[in-house]
Structure 1
Amino acid sequence: MSSKVLVVDDEENIVELIKFNLEQEGYQVLTAYDGVEALEKVKEKEFDLVVLDLMLPQIDGFEVCRQIRTDDKLKRLPVIMLSAKGEEVDKVLGLELGADDYVTKPFSPRELIARVKAVLRRSSNILDLDQKLIEQGEIKFDLEKYQVKIKGQELNLTPKEFAVLSILIEHPGQVFSRSYLLAEIWGYDYHGDTRTIDVHIRRLRKKIAQYSEEEYILTVRGVGYKFKELK
């Protein structure tokens, strides 16, 4: 069955352009033209991905993304943010809110299709771990249940945060470069920069810190990140 994508933008010509190109690739496409309509549709129907414009009437893309990520039924739904704004602060804020990718207008349909394929591929096969359950210190990582708990408290992680943590926690003490994590999780055809990893690491640390004072994810200056070896 082909993947179902929701395209959200208040510019009809942009919506039609994206819809046409996605349908040419075999995707099922539904559309929305404002934030309220977008939220109604993601709650009514099951989607595999949302292409979400930042500047929307009624509720902007940031708020739509935030509500998706705080809804237990929707929190793992992949989101690609789309915006005419290219400022670093917008990109970082989008990633902080849990967007899986960020595409700046003007964009080529070929680039967007590549991003869509990469995000869908990674979301459908985020992990390939031999172990179903990993326990490190206070952290209990359960692949089968797609769940991470600290002291019995479940962390609300996005798919990309879950994927980053999975690589680190499966290999405590091993250092992973930003480039490796970016390629492994986002795919070799991803054209983002390595600061994307820094944003996700920062979010992971913040969420872990809600329940533990232990610093589990360590920075190796000039190299990358590793999960703390616990004795």
Structure 2
Amino acid sequence: MKPKALVVDNDFFFVEFLSDLLEKRGYAVIKAYDGKEGITRLREEAVDLMFVDIIMPRIDGKQLIQFTRNLFPEKSFPIIALSGSLIETIEDVQKIGADYYIAKGPIETMAEHIGRFLDKLEKRAASDAPPEIMETARMFPRQSTAELVEMMDFQEGIVESVGVGILVVDKDAKIIRVNAPSLRILKKSIESLLNRHIGSVFPEAAYARLVTAMKAAARNPEKSATAFQVADDNIHWRVIVSIHRVAQKPVGWIVVVEDVSLWEEQASKTG
């Protein structure tokens, strides 16, 4: 049976290029053109190898790698991160969690480069191979790349540090981004949330209110937000739903979840 390789990249031509290389080496290739599709493929089929671009819209490579590690905690298969920019900051790239990192470059250079990489990979057991950086010609100047990474880290730091849960919801009502506080508040893991319907997060009794809030936000996108509370014996949340805009165009929803019980507890202590 042919080994299966999953290729996840929002660049159609790069997916085809890499798939062609892998197929010539005897791999059965599964293609995904964004992180959402990558998650769907991982839930459907077992793979032996995964290539994933770091910078993708919706669900990015970092979230996809974290999802994969959590979904398959007992199964170790090589994950190769691809990037045309993040390779410039090795310290940050090492934190992504992939086994190998390959910098994107000109196609004619990468064909030979990836071929050598696969030769090496196939000769060694994945568990014996430490994370490595494999570079080709850079696509962006060092200074502009460093500034891009710094800007992304700054924005991500805000989202991760805020004291409320933030869930980014796509047009199909599936979750495409979660921050760390949302995992704590919802008491769920990233693999149980990403690419799942937002309704699966909430108690059944609150589902209708969530749908109503999402519909209200969609019908009146100029309104800042719609809020409601969810309370039962175990939880007390304040939920705020608003339209997610990119370049003034509605692309989904932002759902904020605040743990009201935390503030009630603090108030009782100070009162």
Residue 87 of structure 1: how far off its partner (Å): 4.2
Which of 117, 120, 123 is equivalent to 1:118? 120
Higher helix share: 2
User: C-alpha distance in 2, partners of 1:68/1:74?
Assistant: 11
Task: Quote the Cα distance in structure 2 between the aligned partners of 1:67 and 1:94.
Answer: 17
Distance in 2 between the 1:13 and 1:43 partners?
A: 24
Larger radius of gyration: 2
Higher relative CO (CA 8 A, sep ≥ 6), structure 1 or 2? 1
- Give the structure 2 partner of residue 70 of structure 1: 70
TM-superposed deviation, 1:54: 0.9
Match of 2:104? 105
One-letter amino acid of the counterpart of residue 93, structure 1: D
Q: For residue 30 of structure 1, give the secondary structure of its aligned residue in structure 2.
A: strand
> Which structure 2 residues correspond to residues 1-231 of structure 1 after superposition, within 5 A?
1-73=1-73, 76-89=76-89, 91-106=90-105, 107-122=109-124, 125=125, 159=127, 163=128, 185=129, 192=134
* Matched residue count: 132
The alignment partner of 1:92 has SS state of helix
What SS is found at the alignment partner of 2:29?
Answer: strand
CA distance in 1, matches of 2:10, 2:95: 23
Offset, 1:120 = 4.3
After TM superposition, give the deviation of residue 192 of structure 1 in Å. 4.5
Contact 2:9/2:34, CA 8 A, preserved across alignment: yes
Over the aligned positions, Cα root-mean-square deviation in angstroms equals 2.6
Offset, 1:30: 1.1
Distance 1:20 1:60 in 2: 23
Counterpart code for 1:81: A
Report the 3-state secondary structure (helix = DSSP H, G, I; strand = E; otherwise coil) of the residue aligned with 1:29: strand
Distance 1:93 1:74 in 2: 25
Deviation for aligned residue 1:56: 1.1
CA distance in 1, matches of 2:37, 2:19: 17
Deviation at 1:74, TM superposition (A): 6.6
1:92 corresponds to which letter in structure 2?
E
In structure 2, C-alpha distance between the alignment counterparts of 1:71 and 1:58, rounded to whole Å: 19
Could you tell me which runs of 5 or more consecutive residues in structure 1 were left unpaired when the two chains were aligned.
127-158, 164-184, 194-231
Partner of 2:168: none
